Every structure is written in C-alpha cells, then in structure tokens.
Chain A
Amino acid sequence: PAQAEKIRLKIASGHSPGWHFIELAQDYFVPEVKKRVKERTSHEIEFIEGFSGSMVKATEVLEAVQTGIIEVGVFCICHEGQKLSLHNFPYYLPFGPSDPNISLKATRIVYDKRPELNEVFAKLGQRVLGLIPFEPYDIVSRFPIEKASDVKGRKIGAAGPNAFWVAQAGALPVSVGGPDMYTSFQTGLIDAMLIFPGVMDTLKLYEVAPYLVRVAIGSMTVVPVTVNGRRFDRLPKEVQDIFIEVGRDMEAKAGPFTTELVAKILKVLEGKGVKIATVSDSEREAWSKMLVNEPAKIAKKFEAESKQPVTEIMKAYIAATESLGHKWPLKAKLD
C-alpha cells in the first residue's frame, strides 16, 4: 500500500457561496471528497476554501488553475470568451433549453462526443471534474415586458456574451457588475437586467425592480469544476479515482438540484410580491428572428481565431438538445 499522505489543496472561485454552483462545490464536492478519501484510502485531504474572490477574481480562475496558484477552480466559461470560445457555445445559441437538467445533459453529450473540448482544457493545464448548469436567463425589470419590442431603447444591464441578445433587440446595454446591480436599479441607471431568478433573490433586486419576465432564453451549462493537471497526476491513484468519481456524482446531482432550486426560488419570489410573467411563444419567435444571423457570425469569428470547429460543436449541441425533446423557436442559420 502507498504511504499515507496528508494532501492540502486550495479550492477557489471568484463567485460567492450565494451561487448554487459554489454551494455544490462547498457543501457537496469538498466534504464528499474528504469523506471518501478518509474511508477508502490511507490518505487525508484538506481543502483550503477561497470563495468570493478572496484568492482569485472570477476572470482569473482558469489561469490560476493552469499556473498552479490554486489546485481546484470553479468559474464561469463566460469570463473566458477567448480562451474557451469553443466551450461557450450555449451562449451563441439563445432560446435553447430552459430546464437546467436538459441543458446539462445536452452539454455532457457534446463533451463526450467531441474530444476537442477536453483537449483544449488539457492544453490549459487542467481537467474538468464536472459541469454545473446555470439557472435559466430571465429578465429582472422595473417595468413589465411582454414583447421583444418592449426592450427597445431601454437601458439593460447585460455584461459578457449575452449582451448581443438585447443589443440586437434595440436595447442599450450597460455594463453593470454584481455589487453595483442593486444601486443601478435603484437609481434607474438600468431599467432591466438579463439575469437569473436566484440573483434577484440573493441581491434583493425585487426591492427595486419588481418584475421577473420569464423569457426562457435558456439555461447555459458553462460552470466547470477543474483541477490542475500536474497536481492531479501527482495524487495517489486511488485519490485520483475519488476525484473523478465525486466530480461525476456532483454533476449528476447538479441538474435536478438546479431545476428544483429554480422552482423553489420562483415560489419565494412570488411570496415576496414579485410579478412573474411569461413571454409568449410567438414573441420568443419574433425575438429569435432578430438574432437568427448572429450565431453564424460568432462561429465564424471564433473559428478563425481558435482554429477549432466551433460551428460543428454548435450543431452538435442543437442536435443533442433536440434529441432530449427541446424545440427551438427558430433554428439558427449556421451554414
């Protein structure tokens, strides 16, 4: 038997424990790895937790795992628009599945089918232990929104790769970060924000923006938990197996966990007097129409930059979602 080792690893994220994916990492991944290693091996694992950006900011987690500043990282691929342009595909295809469970399953199918996705991560010195889906994107708003044209000329907070969803609909995107969101609504700097129901609750946005417009623009599976490759290779074999196993188990939990969470949050928000409205299918189709040419443009740009099969991956994602029963309001023109 291998010599007993006491292993210290740093697990970090720029996001705070208020996010469900950090909850999964902190309350499931960490204790579960510790428990199984203790039960099944002679080794012991200690995690030093650095969430909320206390070790690294959201935009530097990928690189920090790569260089070895931290060993395990949790982050959003949306912050790595260039390095992970191949993995950011759910963002290029708005109005995909809104059920986090289906989004996760479809994304997993693509990851398993296309080796390029894991190869890019390997080149960046890390391996993916598990994926976690986001809640579906909805619009938190100070005014009611029924049609796509209602956002025209409005100041809408949308940072990162989702900005084009509202920009194409004629909105004025304002770059607003997490801590500023509340005051930005309060002062009227923004009228609406493309964001998750859970954020509306944790940041108390309902105090200043009482409408939750369910546009069903999609749930994106863009949060990986990754581990530094060199450090992983140096772990005892049986510990490596546990990491892979717990990562997979966490991913299996993540779909239902997120789906249930959304249902729970919607109830909580309703109880707090939030006015929840759903956008009709015909309006979603109208909105889709405005965006129909965007995916091909984006794919072309990133394909030229990364020399990776971005279009193929997008097509694979569309096929995977359809095989799981999702109906796109309008299919993106990709050829």
Chain B
Amino acid sequence: MESVAPYLLVCLLLLLVFAGVEIAVCLGIVSFLAMYSATQDIGISLSFLNSTAYEALRQYLFAVVPLFILMGQFIAQSGAAADLYWGIDRWLHRIPGRFAYATVLGNVVFAFVTGTSLASATTFTAIAYPQMKEAGYNRHFSLGLVSGSACLGMLIPPSLLMVVWGILTDLSIGHLFIAGVVPGFMLAALMMAYIFAITLIRPDLVGHGSGRRQPELDDAGPHVARGIASARPEPTSLDMTISLTGLLAIMVGALGGIWVGFFTPTEGAGIGALISLVVAIAKGMRWPAIYETVLLAARTAIPLMIIVFAAQLYSRTLAMSGIGLTLQGTITGSGLPEWGIVLFMIVIWLVLGTLIDSISIMLLTVPIFGPVALSLGIDPLVFAIVGILTIEAGLLTPPFGLIVYAVRSVIPTENVSMKAIFAGSTPFCVILLVTIAIILTVPETVTFLTRLI
C-alpha cells in the first residue's frame, strides 16, 4: 500500500458509514478491499479475513461482554434494579435529578470492580435507563448520561486500558492505577456539577415541570424493561429486601470476588451472571421470562462482538499499510512547540477514536507517541491519563462511538437514533475534555497520590 492509501481508506470508510451501510460491513469490506489492492492476491486476502475471524475474538477476556450483558439483563428484567431506584426515589425524596446522580455514583462504584467501559455502559443502560425513562427524563439526556458516566470504568482502577498502556510504555501498572483515582473522582464530580446545572436550567430534562411522564411515540414495541416500566405498584418491603440483598450479593460475591482475588474479571462476570439469575428467580422470574431474557442478552451482545471483529480487521489493515511510520515522521519533522505536539496527539486520538476501538488505538499510537512525549519531558503518568481520557472521549464521538453503540444495542427495540444518543453524550465528551485540560494545567492531580507512596 503506498502512502496515500491509508487516507483513501479512511475516506472510503467514512463514505460508506454515512451512507448507512452497517458498521461491521463498512469496516470489513474496506479492509478486505485494501488488503486485496495491496497484495493483488485473492488467496492472501481471504486468509486475512479467516485468520482474523478465528483469532480476533478467541480471547478469554471477551467472554466478559456477553456475561456482563446477561447479568445486567437479569438485574433489569427481574425488577431488582427498579426496586433500588424506587428506594433512591424514596430516600432522596424531592432532590431533583436524583436518578442522574445515582447513575454517576453507581458507575463510580461499578468502576472499582470492572475493567472496561463497555461493561459499565451495557449494565447501566439496562439498569438505569428504564428508570429514568419511567421518571420522565429526556431520553437523549439519560442515554448520554449513561454513555458518559461509563467512561469512569476505564479511569478508576482496575482498568484494562491502563494495563495495556503500562505494558506498552514500561510504566508501573500499580502507579497507573493509583494515578487514575483522583482524575476519576474529579470527572465524577464534574458530571454531577453538570447534572446540578441541568436541574436548575432545564428541569424538564430530568422529568420536572412537564408532567411526570413524557409522551412517547415508540412504546408500541416490547421494550427491554417490559417487566418494570409499565405502571406497577410500589414494591413491598419483602421485594425491597430481596432486591437489595441480591444486588449486594452480586457486588460482594462477584465483583468483590474479583477485587480480593477469588477469580479473574471473566470469571467474576460469569459468577455475577449466575448470582443475578438466582436473584431473578427469587424475585419471581419464571421460565418464559428467563428464556426471553437469555435471548435478549444474546441479541444484544452479538452485534457488538461482530463490530469488535470488524474493527480488528480495520486496525490490522491500518497497521499493515504503515500509517504509524507516516505519523511518526510527521510529528518529529513538524517543528511544533511542545503544547502544539501534545494538542496534535490529542487531535489524532480523537480522530482515531471516531474510527476504531480503544485498545487498537493504543496499539497503533502509544508506541509512537510515548517516546515523543518522554522526549518532551512530559510526566509519563500524566501523559497516560490524558491519553486514556482522550481515547475514552473518542468512544463517545460519532461515527464509531463504541460506548454509544453498546448503549444502543442494549435497547434494540427502542426507537432511538444514534444521532440522538451522540447528541446526548456530547456534553459528557466536553466534560472529559475539560478534565484533560485541568490535568494538563495541574499535573499534580495525577502525580499527587503516587508521590505519597
């Protein structure tokens, strides 16, 4: 592939995406054509597809995706999460936007036990979104909120991105974990400040001022929270006890188990799914509903996994076309000032973030950017957190916001356009960028805790 080819690839891809071709097909066909035009060999091109299909998803870690989705669906369908939100509703009586706060805080807690944002996004879409919808929250706002606060999953330890970053840059993973804590809380605080502002400026977005329930056009289809969303009686205290004990059991049993080392994150997801099944049965869920839930979870997980496969094809194609070398030459030969180079790298991350998944972005850029940043005298921990935040921001931007897709795929039967979710997540993307700006101006936010140790 000659040096213009990478840019052509990107353009063709964008064209197909905006023409409404299914994302997986766009990524896949462009990779296939690029491979063919580079090798002029149909055999090699087909082998490339086959090899990636067989190997890309064959990772133990990826089992987390369907299992956490299953867990989230059981929690949601059984009504346990709904009970929790009823509880919050009662306890935080008359605090405007309480479900929004609860979503952020819930994500903070969940982030301490999960290593991927996708898990947070899918779980909280299933748990929190139906509640907010029921409470009359604006759909764009609440889906954006679920997407945005899912980013906490990667910033608060444990974090898969940090582990990979540490390996690529030879940084202490323990230090990286600690470095993420303060920015993580900072991000959560900023999100809550934003919610507070919303409750003052646009109370209608959080279900106030225009009647309790917004009229919806799309309620005809059976939707995810079928078991909970329709007018239902207030849960009895027995209901509440089962639900809260169940949720606690999942936190302690599955997620706590990961934390204290009984099992790996994948195993934790499996145990969590089983505990949530038990909770669902205790909540009165029976065979037909269990059957439906299992099918729904699968239908949610698969399009996501197929996109991961296609994204792998595309990032491999980029690597094989040598775009990395082109970029390194561009940076070192640019003669930009330090802040200019940092800004440049941030822009590249954001652009790549619109196209491919975060791990692939890191594989492609960190080996190039890391040494550049080091030579500029930037603290590697600060650079790592900035990088992770930026890549996370990319997951919220169109056309390839993986988190947004995850959110969308959990509510397959709702009539919500991608555009609407992207619009809702934009403020959160801005909050991420503000956090990045704060960290770059006050690097101590990152290094402070690690210096204590």
Interface size on A (CB < 8 Å)? 40
A184 sits at the interface (CB 8 A): yes
| Residues of chain B lying within 8 A (CB to CB) of residue A54 | 315-316, 319, 324, 360, 363-364
Q: Nearest residue in A to B360 (C-beta to C-beta)?
A: A54
Known contacts A179-B164, A182-B163, A182-B174; is-contact A52 B363 (Cβ 8 Å): yes
| Residues of chain A lying within 8 A (CB to CB) of residue B160 | 179
What is the minimal beta-carbon distance from B112 to any residue of chain A, in angstroms?
13
- Contact between chains at B44 and A18 (CB < 8 Å): no
Docked Cα-Cα span, A49 to B316, in Å, equals 12
What is the minimal beta-carbon distance from A81 to any residue of chain B, in angstroms?
15
- Contact between chains at B43 and A204 (CB < 8 Å): no
What is the minimal beta-carbon distance from A3 to any residue of chain B, in angstroms?
19
- Contact between chains at A180 and B264 (CB < 8 Å): yes
| Residues of chain A lying within 8 A (CB to CB) of residue B360 | 54
Stretch at the interface among B47-55, B87-95, B284-292, B384-392: B47-55
- Contact between chains at A69 and B47 (CB < 8 Å): yes
A266 sits at the interface (CB 8 A): no
| Residues of chain A lying within 8 A (CB to CB) of residue B262 | 189
| Residues of chain B lying within 8 A (CB to CB) of residue A52 | 168, 363, 367
Cβ contact of B172, chosen from A59, A179, A187, A204, cutoff 8 A: A204
Contact residues on B (Cβ < 8 Å of other chain), bracket: 35 or more
- Contact between chains at A179 and B163 (CB < 8 Å): yes
Docked Cα-Cα span, A70 to B265, in Å, equals 33
Q: Nearest residue in A to B363 (C-beta to C-beta)?
A: A54
Known contacts A48-B320, A69-B48; is-contact A179 B167 (Cβ 8 Å): yes
Cβ contact of B363, chosen from A53, A63, A175, A202, cutoff 8 A: A53
What is the minimal beta-carbon distance from A18 to any residue of chain B, in angstroms?
7
What is the minimal beta-carbon distance from B378 to any residue of chain A, in angstroms?
20
B259 sits at the interface (CB 8 A): yes
**B238-282 contact mask (Cβ, 8 Å, vs A): 1 or 0:** 000000000000000000001111111100000000000000000
Cβ contact of B319, chosen from A16, A55, A182, A184, cutoff 8 A: A55
**A177-213 contact mask (Cβ, 8 Å, vs B): 1 or 0:** 1111011101111000000000000111001100000
Q: Nearest residue in B to A14 (C-beta to C-beta)?
A: B55
Docked Cα-Cα span, A150 to B141, in Å, equals 57
- Contact between chains at A59 and B55 (CB < 8 Å): yes
B158 sits at the interface (CB 8 A): yes
A57 sits at the interface (CB 8 A): yes
**B159-195 contact mask (Cβ, 8 Å, vs A): 1 or 0:** 0100110111010111000000000000000000000
Q: Nearest residue in B to A184 (C-beta to C-beta)?
A: B264
Docked Cα-Cα span, A187 to B258, in Å, equals 7
Q: Nearest residue in B to A155 (C-beta to C-beta)?
A: B261
Docked Cα-Cα span, A188 to B54, in Å, equals 32
| Residues of chain A lying within 8 A (CB to CB) of residue B265 | 180
What is the minimal beta-carbon distance from A69 to any residue of chain B, in angstroms?
5
**A144-182 contact mask (Cβ, 8 Å, vs B): 1 or 0:** 000000000000000000000000000000011111101
Docked Cα-Cα span, A187 to B322, in Å, equals 39
Docked Cα-Cα span, A18 to B367, in Å, equals 11
What is the minimal beta-carbon distance from A219 to any residue of chain B, in angstroms?
23
- Contact between chains at A60 and B55 (CB < 8 Å): yes
What is the minimal beta-carbon distance from B78 to any residue of chain A, in angstroms?
29
Docked Cα-Cα span, A51 to B364, in Å, equals 10
- Contact between chains at A18 and B320 (CB < 8 Å): no
B60 sits at the interface (CB 8 A): yes
- Contact between chains at B166 and A183 (CB < 8 Å): no
- Contact between chains at B167 and A18 (CB < 8 Å): yes
- Contact between chains at B367 and A207 (CB < 8 Å): no
Docked Cα-Cα span, A17 to B367, in Å, equals 9
Cβ contact of A64, chosen from B51, B166, B264, cutoff 8 A: B51
Residues A45-79 near B (CB distance < 8 A): 48-57, 59-60, 63-64, 67-70
Residues A237-274 near B (CB distance < 8 A): none
B41 sits at the interface (CB 8 A): yes
- Contact between chains at B172 and A207 (CB < 8 Å): yes
**B432-451 contact mask (Cβ, 8 Å, vs A): 1 or 0:** 00000000000000000000
B295 sits at the interface (CB 8 A): no
Q: Nearest residue in B to A67 (C-beta to C-beta)?
A: B47
What is the minimal beta-carbon distance from B162 to any residue of chain A, in angstroms?
10
Docked Cα-Cα span, A203 to B146, in Å, equals 34
- Contact between chains at A63 and B168 (CB < 8 Å): no
What is the minimal beta-carbon distance from A283 to any residue of chain B, in angstroms?
28
Residues B4-55 near A (CB distance < 8 A): 39, 41, 43-44, 47-48, 51, 54-55
**B322-350 contact mask (Cβ, 8 Å, vs A): 1 or 0:** 10110000000000000000000000000
| Residues of chain B lying within 8 A (CB to CB) of residue A177 | 60-61
Docked Cα-Cα span, A111 to B174, in Å, equals 43
- Contact between chains at A204 and B319 (CB < 8 Å): no
Residues A209-251 near B (CB distance < 8 A): none
Residues B304-322 near A (CB distance < 8 A): 315-316, 319-322
What is the minimal beta-carbon distance from B179 to any residue of chain A, in angstroms?
14
| Residues of chain A lying within 8 A (CB to CB) of residue B324 | 49, 54
Known contacts A18-B167, A55-B316, A60-B55; is-contact A189 B367 (Cβ 8 Å): no
A10 sits at the interface (CB 8 A): yes
| Residues of chain B lying within 8 A (CB to CB) of residue A18 | 167, 170
Residues B75-119 near A (CB distance < 8 A): none
Docked Cα-Cα span, A60 to B168, in Å, equals 20
What is the minimal beta-carbon distance from B170 to any residue of chain A, in angstroms?
6
Known contacts A175-B60, A188-B260, A203-B167; is-contact A69 B51 (Cβ 8 Å): yes
Q: Nearest residue in A to B257 (C-beta to C-beta)?
A: A187
- Contact between chains at A67 and B43 (CB < 8 Å): yes
What is the minimal beta-carbon distance from A9 to any residue of chain B, in angstroms?
11
- Contact between chains at A183 and B51 (CB < 8 Å): no
7 closest residue pairs by CB, A with B: A187-B261, A188-B261, A67-B47, A54-B319, A48-B322, A68-B44, A189-B261
A-B contacts, 16 listed (Cβ < 8 Å): A16-B167, A18-B167, A54-B319, A55-B316, A56-B316, A59-B58, A60-B51, A68-B39, A69-B44, A178-B167, A179-B160, A184-B264, A187-B261, A189-B261, A203-B173, A204-B173
Known pairs A16-B168, A187-B260 / 13 extra A-B pairs, C-beta < 8 Å:
A49-B325, A51-B367, A52-B363, A54-B316, A54-B360, A55-B319, A180-B61, A184-B264, A187-B258, A189-B262, A202-B167, A203-B167, A204-B172
